[in-house]
Amino acid sequence: MPTRIAAFNVENLFARAKALNADRPDAHTDILEAHAALNRLIDRVTYTDPVKAEMLRHLGTLGLLWSDTAEFARLRRIRWKLIHRPRNSSTPEIVASGRADWIGWCELVVEPVNALAMQHTALVIKEVAADILAIVEAESRPVLTAFQEQMLGAVGVTREEAYRRVMLIDGNDRRGIDVGLATRSGYPISAIRSHVDDRGPNGEPIFSRDCPEYTVSTPSGETLVVLPNHFKSKFSGNSCASRDKRRLQARTAAGIYRRLCSEGHENVVVLGDLNDTADSEELAPLFCDTDLVDAALHPAFTEVEFRGRSGRGLGTFGLGNDSDRIDYILLSPALSRRMVRGGICRKGAWPGARPKRWTVFPTLTETVHAASDHHAIWVDLDL
């Protein structure tokens, strides 16, 4: 039997930041950017007057100028305080002089994922039936474990089909969206190496989440090194900073891959949500500067249902257009030679209305019930 490897951005399993589900279009950008920027400022050793002014601006965007709790965010204060809100004045002020003056942070308000969407996520995972599954945007290892025990069992995944090992290392994203790996019986994870603390030239973490190395053994005794990834997104208009971040992440992941090859590892997989197209300058370090093979362009990658107007339908996001191809499985040459099948599972993604571009689960009748905006991608390897 071939070994099936898959990647799926589940966009959270049980709970998700409320701003990500909001009808307000600015919530996806302004709120998330303000939250991230405020926490970066909070971590400053010293709060200068310009820093305080910027803090107040972000607190205003988040709705936190006059209260510690708002619709999409809350200011978590453990000891002392960051901001003074006078009763008889229209001007709140930052009273802390630096990080040492108070203990606290800003966090996003979360809400439960739609119950039917959770069920469809479980059905996609069951449908794909991967032996090795990279999961993107999972909240934590306990959540991954609970999802398997509660949701996968509820949709008919048997004990034999279940994932014996579920691993996730907390990454750098304060929203609790991380990358993890689940493997079936016969595919033990024998080694783990994290890159969560790798730093760029500016001293900040390179990876938005992590680029972990999971060494996995197969029933035949072969070994693979699997690198799940989730690169910096294009939220907030794909700014220069976002593009630079993705380029650095691609360059660093490529360096990790080359180092593994130099250590004698022939079977290496880089996979996940890279948040850009394969022809982008940002992903060139992976797609142009290494010998990694894009599985979706392999002759054996044929299991793709798509009834769009143009293109091959290789997109893995939204309506599946080729321009929406942002989730990948990249194989080392040795693995590419052993690829026998591959495809995209879209049954849990909204198919559009006129015409419906692919077959979905019968219970997926509204966009809110979609498992994810992303489609699962998989390959079969003769291992």
- What pLDDT score was predicted for residue 237? 62
- What pLDDT score was predicted for residue 160? 83
Q: Which amino acid is at 331?
A: L
Mean pLDDT value across the chain: 91
pLDDT band, residue 149 (cuts 50/70/90): confident
Q: What is the mean pLDDT of residues 342-354?
A: 93
- What pLDDT score was predicted for residue 22? 61
Q: Taking the complete model, does pTM exceed 0.85, yes or no?
A: no
pLDDT band, residue 259 (cuts 50/70/90): very high
Residues 55-108 pLDDT 10s: 999 999 999 999 999 988 899 998 899 999 988 777 899 999 999 999 999 988
- What pLDDT score was predicted for residue 96? 95
Residues 8-29 pLDDT 10s: 999 876 666 777 766 555 556 7
Q: What is the mean pLDDT of residues 179-196?
A: 96
